[in-house]
Structure formats: structure tokens, C-alpha cells
């Protein structure tokens, strides 16, 4: 029986050429698997047919948009996931859901190997292969660009020689990855980190220097998940899509960062994540209202470690699973509404209300109705500063030569 390889298929030039390239290099049949995580562009049936026309023996497409939004983006929102305090894990979040469908397809179609289109210097090769090894330890992995010497020039020549149904004449200067949670752009002139991004870099956001009128939105959360916008119930996918539209129109969510890659190099990345950044801003503020102080302080460290694990391709790891349990527990009372003004690149919180709020007006007010007993403050300060006071007295005694 001829061996089969499941290929993560995007419908673009490189993965279209990879179908025949893998067959010639390995003698295996190729099953193309396309996973829709909200990247837009062509419809799934068009992509499926192209894979078959390029030589795939089977082509499977999965509409994973709702799954991706609910099971991957929402946990990231609950963890306020921003790698290096800036990047909302646009690509990193999509890889485990794609891996899940690749491994399922390998089992379904009897494949022994899974292939992806990553290079040898990026993060995604790690995310794909660690995930595949975890969910399908019996499967092998190959990367045509990395392992089978499939360069861009060779891909164009191969497509033209074999008359493949894919455009080869125009070379985009950028490497782009996008989904409903955001868009990532790199390479080209952006590799010179002194160069500023030009307007053609952006697609999800309009120029914040020329914004429309301010847009006020009220986001309602239940257990840290957005469930309504301006009183209209929404699914996680709908919440992201609508906030992408409204925040994107205001130029919110543009990120320009020199990033520490997992493989040990720094790279310059441009991201657009209007919906993600606006929702994270709202979620963080609702946590400020509803999460107890010590729990919130500890959660910030957990959030950072959770983010690093996902960035590093450890979505299916035991530690990440344990951190999930902690984050979920902290969200029990993250309920209520946040009002924000979206304008000129900023998502500014202007109002909060929650039935589970820890904000007590009578304790916080300086006006009539104040129930805070200020007479207790002096004793609290004495006890709170006691250890520092005793240590300071010792240090001054020793510095003065008295023992």
C-alpha cells in the first residue's frame, strides 16, 4: 500500500506545489487538509478543488472558525495573553487547532506522515511538530521548505512547468499569516528595523490618524467571555468579528515589535489585532473590578507563563493544562459590563458595572457615607512596616560600629 502524507494546505503557491513536490521526493500520496480559522480569502470549496487539481488524492476542508474562537481565542482572552506585553498570539493560537485537524485527518485517511509549510528558522515548525508528536506520537513530520529544499523560485518554476492552477507571476514582498484573532506581517523591507511600515502593510485596520467619529461600545462578559455587545447576544466568533470591524475602523490594534523568537533569533513583526486588543482591554478592566487583589497579583504571573507556553508551542503540555485550571477558576466572578470608547487607535474604558464587583462605593468615597474606619490606619501602618523598621535599626547600629 502506498504511504500517505497529510499536508497542511493553505491554497497558496508553496503548499500547492508541495503536493507534487512531496510525491516526487517521497513516493507518497498527498492528502491536502485546509482549516478555516477565519483567515478570509477564497471559499473552502475553491481551495479543496485546487488541491485536487494540483494532484492531491484526497482533499479535506474544515470550517473551524467557531471552534477556534471559543476554544482557543477565549482562553487567551481570559489569560490576557500578550507575548512580550504586546503580541496577542495571533499565529500561535491557530496552530494547535490546525494540528488537531491534521492529526484527525491522518488517522482518517491512513497517513503515516504530516507535512507543513514552515521554514527552519520560524516558531511555527516547533508549534506544528510538537503538537503533532503529542496528539499523534506515531506520526512522522516533514517540512518541504525546510527538509525537501522547496524554495520560492523552485515553487514558481515547478508550478509553471506543470501548469498548476495557481498564480505565480506576482510575488508579495511580505510573509502574511492571518485569522479571525489578527494578522501577522513580516519580511521584505520590514527586515530593516529602521524602516517604518507603509500603508500597504495594513489590511485589518484603517489609519488611526484619520479616524471616524468616536464609537462607544458596551461589552458584557460572563465568566470572562464576551456574550453581548451593546445588548445584543453574540457568540465568541461574532464578538471577535464585530470588534474587528469596529475597532479596526478606528485603527486600534496595530503592533510593531522586535520579537524574541523561540528558535533564538530576534525578528521584526507587524501585527494587526483590533478585536483582540479591544477585548483584552475590556477584560482586564473587568478583572480589576471583580478579582481579589492577591489572586490578581498571582494571576499576572500565571498569565505571562501561560502566554509563553502557547507561544513556544506547548498548548498540549501538562503545565499549560494545569495553568488553564487556575485561569478558569479566577474567571468565576468576572461578570458584568465594560463601556469603552473606540477612537483614533485607542480603546479607552469609560465605565464598569458588575453584580460581582469588589468595588465598594461606601469604602472608596471621601464624601458623606464613608464607612472606612480611618482610625485603624495608624496601627496597620505600624504593623505593616514593622519588619523594615527592625531591619533598618539593626543596619544603622552596625554601620555605627555598635554590636
For position 402, what pLDDT does the model report? 59
DSSP letter for 230, please: T
Catalytic residue among 108, 157, 175, 245: 175
**Cβ-based neighbour number of residue 91 at 10 Å:** 21
The three three-digit cell numbers of residue 349, written as one number: 474604558
What are 102-156's pLDDT values in tens digits? 999 999 999 999 999 998 888 999 999 999 999 999 999 999 989 888 887 888 8
Name the CATH superfamily for 4-171: HUPs (3.40.50.620)
Sequence spans of domains, the chain: 4-171, 176-291+333-353, 367-399
Confidence of residue 169 (pLDDT cuts 50, 70, 90): low
For position 171, what pLDDT does the model report? 60
Q: Would you call 91 helix, strand, or coil by DSSP?
A: helix
For position 320, what pLDDT does the model report? 98
DSSP letter for 52, please: H
11 in a labelled binding site = yes
Task: Write the Ramachandran bin of 89: left for phi over 0, alpha for psi from -120 to 50, otherwise beta.
Answer: left
Catalytic residue among 4, 48, 65, 124: 124
Helix (H) or strand (E) holding 141: strand 140-142
Residue 156 CA to residue 146 CA, distance in Å, equals 17
DSSP letter for 198, please: P
DSSP letter for 400, please: T
The third-level CATH classification (topology) of the domain covering 176-291+333-353 is 3.90.1260
Q: Would you call 227 helix, strand, or coil by DSSP?
A: strand
Alpha carbon distances (Å) from 141 to 9, 256, 314, 344 = 15, 32, 17, 45
In the residue annotation, 14 being an active-site residue is answered as yes
The third-level CATH classification (topology) of the domain covering 367-399 is 1.20.5
Q: Would you call 356 helix, strand, or coil by DSSP?
A: coil
Residue 290 in this model has a pLDDT that exceeds 80: yes
What are 74-102's pLDDT values in tens digits? 999 999 999 999 999 999 999 999 999 99
Helix axes 44-53, 13-26, angle to 10 degrees: 30
Q: Counting Cβ atoms within 10 Å, is residue 145 exposed (0-12), middle (13-18) or buried (19+)?
A: buried
Q: Counting Cβ atoms within 10 Å, is residue 150 exposed (0-12), middle (13-18) or buried (19+)?
A: buried
Using DSSP bridges, classify how beta strands 29-36 and 58-63 pair: parallel, antiparallel or unpaired.
parallel
CA gyration radius for the chain?
A: 26
175 in a labelled binding site = yes
In the residue annotation, 223 being an active-site residue is answered as no
For position 364, what pLDDT does the model report? 87
Residue 99 CA to residue 114 CA, distance in Å, equals 9
Alpha carbon distances (Å) from 115 to 22, 26, 143 = 9, 12, 5
In the residue annotation, 153 being an active-site residue is answered as no
| pLDDT, greater one: 284 or 186 | 284
83 in a labelled binding site = no
For position 1, what pLDDT does the model report? 72
Rounded to an integer, the average pLDDT of 358-370 is: 88
In this prediction the pTM is: 0.94
198 in a labelled binding site = no
For position 179, what pLDDT does the model report? 97
16 in a labelled binding site = yes
Three-point CA angle 91, 32, 235, nearest 5° = 45
CB-based contact 37:68 (threshold 8 Å): yes
Residue 147 CA to residue 211 CA, distance in Å, equals 46
For residue 247, give the nearest of 170, 337, 347 by alpha carbon: 347
Catalytic residue among 48, 50, 65, 95: 95
Q: How large is the greatest C-alpha to C-alpha distance in the chain, in angstroms?
A: 91
The three three-digit cell numbers of residue 136, written as one number: 499523534
Confidence of residue 369 (pLDDT cuts 50, 70, 90): confident
312 in a labelled binding site = no
Task: Look over the chain and give the mean of its residue pLDDT values, rounded to a whole number.
Answer: 94
What are 315-348's pLDDT values in tens digits? 999 999 999 999 999 999 999 999 999 999 999 9
Q: Counting Cβ atoms within 10 Å, is residue 235 exposed (0-12), middle (13-18) or buried (19+)?
A: middle
Q: Would you call 86 helix, strand, or coil by DSSP?
A: coil
15 in a labelled binding site = yes
For position 12, what pLDDT does the model report? 87
14 in a labelled binding site = yes
In the residue annotation, 332 being an active-site residue is answered as no
Amino acid at each position: 500500500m502506498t504511504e500517505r502524507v497529510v499536508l497542511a494546505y493553505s491554497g497558496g503557491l508553496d503548499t500547492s506545489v508541495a503536493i507534487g513536490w512531496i510525491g516526487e521526493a517521497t513516493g507518497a500520496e498527498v492528502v491536502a487538509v485546509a482549516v478555516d480559522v477565519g483567515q478570509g480569502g477564497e471559499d473552502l470549496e475553491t481551495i479543496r478543488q485546487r488541491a485536487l487539481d494540483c494532484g492531491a488524492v484526497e482533499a479535506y476542508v474544515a470550517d473551524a472558525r467557531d471552534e477556534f474562537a471559543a476554544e482557543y481565542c477565549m482562553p487567551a482572552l481570559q489569560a490576557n495573553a500578550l507575548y512580550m506585553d504586546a503580541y496577542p498570539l495571533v499565529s500561535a493560537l491557530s496552530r494547535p487547532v490546525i494540528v488537531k485537524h491534521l492529526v484527525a485527518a491522518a488517522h482518517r485517511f491512513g497517513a503515516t506522515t504530516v507535512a507543513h509549510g514552515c521554514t527552519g528558522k520560524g516558531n511555527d515548525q516547533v508549534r506544528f511538530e510538537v503538537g503533532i508528536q503529542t496528539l499523534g506520537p506515531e506520526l512522522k513530520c516533514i517540512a518541504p521548505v525546510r527538509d525537501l529544499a522547496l524554495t520560492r523560485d523552485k515553487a514558481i518554476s515547478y508550478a509553471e512547468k506543470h501548469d498548476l492552477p495557481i498564480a505565480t507571476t506576482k510575488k508579495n514582498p511580505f510573509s502574511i499569516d492571518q485569522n479571525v484573532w489578527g494578522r501577522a506581517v513580516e519580511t521584505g523591507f520590514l527586515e530593516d528595523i529602521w524602516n517604518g511600515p507603509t500603508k500597504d502593510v495594513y489590511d485589518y485596520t484603517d489609519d488611526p490618524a484619520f479616524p471616524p467619529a468616536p464609537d462607544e461600545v458596551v461589552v458584557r462578559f460572563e465568566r470572562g467571555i464576551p456574550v453581548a455587545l451593546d445588548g445584543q447576544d453574540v457568540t465568541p466568533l461574532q464578538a471577535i468579528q464585530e470588534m474587528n470591524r469596529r475597532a479596526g475602523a478606528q485603527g486600534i490594534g496595530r503592533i510593531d515589535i522586535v520579537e524574541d523568537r523561540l528558535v533564538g533569533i530576534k525578528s521584526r513583526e507587524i501585527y494587526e489585532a483590533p478585536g483582540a486588543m479591544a477585548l483584552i482591554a475590556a477584560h482586564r478592566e473587568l478583572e480589576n473590578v471583580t478579582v481579589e487583589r492577591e489572586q490578581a497579583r498571582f494571576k499576572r504571573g500565571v498569565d505571562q507563563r501561560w502566554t509563553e507556553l502557547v507561544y513556544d508551542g506547548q498548548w498540549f503540555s501538562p503545565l499549560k493544562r494545569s495553568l488553564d485550571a487556575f485561569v478558569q477558576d479566577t474567571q468565576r466572578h468576572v461578570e458584568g459590563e465594560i463601556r469603552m470608547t473606540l477612537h483614533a487607535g485607542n480603546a479607552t474604558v469609560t465605565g464598569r458595572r458588575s453584580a460581582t464587583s469588589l468595588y465598594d462605593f461606601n469604602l472608596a468615597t471621601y464624601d458623606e457615607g464613608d464607612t472606612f474606619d480611618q482610625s485603624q490606619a495608624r496601627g496597620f501602618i505600624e504593623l505593616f512596616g514593622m519588619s523594615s523598621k527592625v531591619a533598618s535599626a539593626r543596619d544603622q547600629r552596625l554601620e555605627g560600629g555598635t554590636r
